[in-house]
Structures are given as structure tokens and as C-alpha cells.
Copies of this chain bind each other. A is one copy, B any other.
Amino acid sequence: MTDLARFGVSIDDRLLKRFDDLIAEKGYGNRSEAIRDLIRNALVEDQWTRGDEETVGTVTLVYNHHTRDLSDKLTEHQHSHHDAIVSTLHVHLDAHNCLEVVVVKGKAREVKRMADELIGTKGVKHGKLVTSTTGEDLL
């Protein structure tokens, strides 16, 4: 059970008009939703600058599966961190290229380090970390 609060925002009406246009275009149903998303983004961003908070990240990797030993290395790397790596999604993009998304849970700084290692593995063409959240306390 959670309690709902309500607060008022005073704002110039022209600024509000532009915001309404933007959120309509982005497909939001109402202002509260859009504001809550802005607030959550600010909180998650702040969380990742601290480093020692429990977070979740996803690492997106694109690589050529013909690269010698690469799949094995990535699999091995993930197994040696099995407590932190929650799950992995593998997509065959074409005859050569694979996309892999690795979901990692842990302290922000450890998730970052693990992402660096995965992205830096020889043969990975492109990699990026999304710094997301466990969702707790982000109601």
C-alpha cells in the first residue's frame, strides 16, 4: 500500500503550453505521468553518480560471432560473475553479427566495471551501458 501525495507547480502558461505539446508528441497520457518520469530520471541519474548504491544496468553488445573464441570468452566472463549477471538476451542480427544484452545487478561502481570489461573484450564492435534501477523506492 502506498500513499499518494499531491503538489502544485506554478509555471508560466506559455512554458506549460510547450510542455503539453512535447508530452503529447511523446505519447504521455497526462502531465503527472510525464513529471514523475522526469523526477525518476533525475533520481536514477543521481544514484549512479554515488557508486555504492544497489542498481541494475543493461549492457548492449554487438559482435561478430565468427571472431575466434569471443562467444566463449563472453560466456565465461559472465559465469565468473554469475551472482551479478541476472540474465542474457541473444539476437542473431545477420549471418555474422550478434547482439547481446546482459542484465547486471550490483553496486553502481561494480556494474560499471563489469560493463567496461564486457565492452572491452576483443572482438566486441560496439557496447553501451544503460544505467537503470532496481525500481525499489521509485513508485
Contacts and interface: CB of A to CB of B under 8 A. Distances in A.
A133 interface: yes
B19 A39 contact: yes
A68 to B, nearest CB: 13
A71 interface: no
B32 A38 contact: no
Interface string A11-23: 1111110110011
A25 B28 CA distance: 29
Interface in A85-139: 86-89, 91, 93-94, 96-99, 101, 103, 105, 116-117, 119-122, 124-128, 130-139
Interface in A1-44: 2-16, 18-19, 22-23, 26-29, 31-44
A34 B16 CA distance: 14
A39 B15 contact: yes
A78 interface: no
Contacts of A126: 37, 40-41, 44, 132-133, 135, 138
Nearest to A23: B120
18 contacts: A8-B32, A11-B32, A18-B43, A18-B137, A19-B39, A22-B43, A33-B120, A35-B38, A37-B124, A38-B42, A41-B126, A56-B62, A60-B132, A88-B89, A91-B103, A93-B105, A97-B136, A101-B101
